[in-house]
Structure 1
Amino acid sequence: MLKPTLTTLFFASLCAITLPGCDVDVEDPGALPTVDIEPGEAPDVDVHGPEVDVHAEEETVTVPDVDVEMEEKTVTVPDVDVDIPAENEN
């Protein structure tokens, strides 16, 4: 149960660290295409949604009383070192 969580945490932190640290140089900025459009007309609609009433009321329910004991455990966690490239370094 703990291993998939740590694996997911590792890859999420790796993406969060490496993606913003990339140096991207735009060589050709590109251009938007030329598009000719003609004006149109949106349809005329009449929508009647449901009527919803929301309120709160108190109820008495039976709930479990759980005591949790905490213990310290040593686990392996990811340690990521990232070298961000300098400006204009390829």
Structure 2
Amino acid sequence: MRKLYPIFVLLGLSTTCYANQEYKIEKVLHNGDYIINGLHWKPQTSCAVLRKGDKIKFLNKKANGKCVSTTVLHDASNSTCDLWCEDSRSDG
């Protein structure tokens, strides 16, 4: 069991680093949708706290748009927002 410990530590660190990658809100559209990481996201819950330039983290690692939905963490307010991927590159 002792030999496996370093492997678990490395796996935990790589997962944590990826999960904590920050993204910026690139644009807030007139209808309240967002452009994040070059993709179009539609809010499923109230996301009024999100503004252009704000830093967020994708809690379930769905920043690439290959998703149905995702949850983001707003760094400044520590609040979450559920988003729906509206990009044509999404593979559902």
More RCO (CA 8 Å, sep 6+): 1
TM-score norm. by structure 2 comes to 0.26
- Name which one, 1 or 2, has greater alpha-carbon Rg: 1
